[in-house]
Amino acid sequence: MNMGRFQRSLNKLNEYTVEGKEVTRLAYSREEKRAKEYIIKQFEHEGLTVKVDAVGNITARREGTDASLKPVAFGSHIDSVYEAGQYDGAMGVIASLEIIRFLNEENITTERPLEVIVFTGEESSRFGIATIGSRIMTGRLNLVESGHLEDKKGITLKKALEDNHFNIENYHQAVRTSADQHAFIEMHIEQGPVLEIENKDIGIVHAIAAPLRLSLEIKGEAGHSGTTPFKYRKDALAAAAEIALEVESAAREEEKNGTLATVGVLDINPGAMNIVPGSAGMQIDIRSVSVESREKVYQKITDKIESVSKAREIEINTSLLTKEEPVDLSDTLVEAVEEISVNNGYTFKHMNSGAGHDAMNMAHICPTALIFVPSVKGISHNPKEFTHLNDIEKGIIVMKDLILKTACNEAGNLK
C-alpha cells in the first residue's frame, strides 16, 4: 500500500471544511458537496463508473470478470460532526480509494464487481438523525416523513436536499435490496480506547449497538434572578439538570451490559446571567447491544421526566427521534477477518461497536463486516482524533484481503 499517497489524499479531502472550524463538513453542506466532487474525480481517474443516487450516496463501480454476479461493496462516509477530527469516516473512504489504486497498479481482477460506496449524512449532528444515506439505501427511512427536521439555522432537511438539487419525493429511487448486494465491508477507527490499551492491531466487530434518541422541550418560566423566590420559580435549567443526572445514573447501573447514555445537547433560553431560564431543549442518546438493558435505562429516564414535570409544575414535551435495533454482523466474514489477521501476523480482538455505522444498515440487505483500527487515547469527534499510519495500513491490508476473498465467486455462501 502506498501510505504516503493515502495520507496526501486524506489531507486533501480534509481541506474541504468550514474555514477556521477544524474539520466541519456537515451533511448536505457546501463543504460536503465540494468533498464529494473531489472524491468522484479520484474514482473516475481510476477508471471507475461513478453514480450519485437520489439522496447523494456515491457509488463507484469497478467491473469484475462476471457482470452477472452481485457486487462486493465497501466504503464509509465523509460528512462530519461539528469541529471533528480527520479520520472518522474519511479514513474508510480514502482507504477504499487506496485499495482500488492498488488493484489497478497490480492489475488484479476480481470475479465479482466491486463498488465503493460513499454514504451521505452518516452523522446526526446537523439534523439529529444519523446514517441517512445508508438507511434510505436499505429501505429503512421514509425521507419525506423526516423532511421537517431542522438544523441550528432553521434549515429543514427538505430544503437542504433541494439546495443540493435533490427532490425529497424521489428518495425511494436510492433503495437497494439483497438482490443488489453480495456483501458490504466497512473499515473505521475504533473511536474508543480498547484496542490501544490492549495493544491490538485489528478490532473484529460482531455486533453494533443501536441508539435510542430523545428530544425534550422543557417549558418553564423566565424570571428575574434577583426578585423571584425559589418557591415561585419554574427553572427550566434546574429541571434539565435533574434529568441529566438521572441519565448518567441510570446508564451507570447498566454499564455492565454495555449500555451508555449521554445528554449531548442542552440549549438554554433566554440565556442571560440575571434571568431564570424559561425554557430548555435537551437531546438524549441511549445505546446498547442489549435491547433489554437499553429499555431499562429509557424507562428510568422517562419516569424521571414525569416526576420532574409534576414536582416543578413544568411542561416537558418528549419526542422519540429514533429507536433502532442492535445489529449482528456476518459470522462468515467475522471468521474470515480473523483468518486474514492471523495470516498477516496481526493481533486482534473480538468486540462490539458502541457507535453506530453505515454497516449496521447494510447488514439488513447483505452479509456485512466492520473492521476497527486503534484510536489514540480513544479520542473521536474531536480535533485531537488520531490513528497512526502503520495501524491504518494494517486495516487496509485486512480489508483488501477480505474484499479479494469475498469477490471470488468460489468463496462460498456468506451468512
The CA distance from 322 to 145, in Å, is: 13
69 or 211, which is more confident = 69
The CA distance from 64 to 142, in Å, is: 33
Contact 187, 117 (CB under 8 A): no
The CA distance from 280 to 312, in Å, is: 14
Measuring CA to CA, which residue among 313, 309, 322, 251 is closest to residue 283? 322
pLDDT given for residue 258 in this prediction: 85
Contact 283, 265 (CB under 8 A): yes
Instruction: Look at residue 413 and tell me whether its pLDDT is greater than 80.
Output: no
Return the percentage of the chain with pLDDT > 70, whole number.
99
**Region 198-226 average pLDDT:** 95
Say which amino acid occupies 303: D
Say which amino acid occupies 213: R
Query: What burial class does residue 202 get, using C-beta atoms within 10 Å of its C-beta: 0-12 exposed, 13-18 middle, 19+ buried?
Result: buried
Q: Which domains does the chain have, with CATH numbers?
A: 3-209+326-411 (3.40.630.10), 211-323 (3.30.70.360)
Residue given cell 471507475 in the structure block: 48
Q: Rounded to an integer, what is the distance from CA 401 to the centroid of its chain?
A: 24
The CA distance from 191 to 394, in Å, is: 17
- Going by pLDDT thresholds of 50, 70 and 90, the confidence category of residue 366 is very high
Average pLDDT, the chain: 94
Q: What is the largest CA-CA distance in the chain?
A: 79
What single-letter DSSP state applies at residue 111?
Answer: S
Instruction: Look at residue 283 and tell me whether its pLDDT is greater than 70.
Output: yes
pLDDT given for residue 325 in this prediction: 86
Neighbour count for residue 15 (Cβ, 10 Å): 11
**Region 307-317 average pLDDT:** 97
196 to each of 85, 259, 397, how far by Cα in Å?
18, 21, 19
Q: Which residues, 6+ apart, have CB-to-CB distance to 343 below 8 Å?
A: 401
Contact 57, 99 (CB under 8 A): no
Q: Which residues, 6+ apart, have CB-to-CB distance to 142 below 8 Å?
A: 171
- 3-state SS assignment for residue 202: strand
**Region 351-358 average pLDDT:** 91
Task: Locate 112 and state its grid cell.
Answer: 465479482
Q: Which tens digits make up the pLDDT trace of 150-192? A: 999 999 999 999 999 999 999 999 999 999 999 999 999 999 9
In DSSP notation, 254-314 reads HGGGT-EEEEEEEEEES--TTEE--EEEEEEEEEES-HHHHHHHHHHHHHHHHHHHHHHT-
Contact 57, 174 (CB under 8 A): yes
User: Phi first, then psi: what are they for 246, rounded to 5°?
Assistant: -70, -35
Q: Which tens digits make up the pLDDT trace of 18-49? A: 987 789 999 999 999 999 999 999 999 999 99
Instruction: Look at residue 411 and tell me whether its pLDDT is greater than 80.
Output: no
pLDDT given for residue 410 in this prediction: 61
Q: Which tens digits make up the pLDDT trace of 2-17? A: 999 999 999 999 999 9
The CA distance from 262 to 245, in Å, is: 10
Is the four-CA dihedral 151, 155, 158, 164 of positive or negative sign? negative
Whole-prediction pTM: 0.83
Report whether the peptide linkage leading into residue 326 is cis, meaning its omega lies within 30 degrees of zero.
Answer: no
Measuring CA to CA, which residue among 55, 20, 61 is closest to residue 40? 61
The CA distance from 73 to 60, in Å, is: 9
**Region 297-308 average pLDDT:** 97
What single-letter DSSP state applies at residue 208?
Answer: E
- Going by pLDDT thresholds of 50, 70 and 90, the confidence category of residue 409 is low
Dihedral angle, C-alpha 1, 355, 59, 364, nearest 10 °:
120
- Going by pLDDT thresholds of 50, 70 and 90, the confidence category of residue 322 is confident
Q: Determine how β-strand 275-276 pairs with β-strand 223-224.
A: antiparallel
264 or 413, which is more confident = 264
408 or 93, which is more confident = 93
pLDDT given for residue 40 in this prediction: 98
Instruction: Look at residue 210 and tell me whether its pLDDT is greater than 90.
Output: no
Dihedral angle, C-alpha 246, 252, 258, 261, nearest 10 °:
30
pLDDT given for residue 294 in this prediction: 95
Q: Which residues, 6+ apart, have CB-to-CB distance to 235 below 8 Å?
A: 220, 276, 277, 312
- Going by pLDDT thresholds of 50, 70 and 90, the confidence category of residue 304 is very high
Measuring CA to CA, which residue among 328, 341, 360, 366 is closest to residue 73? 366
The CA distance from 53 to 33, in Å, is: 14
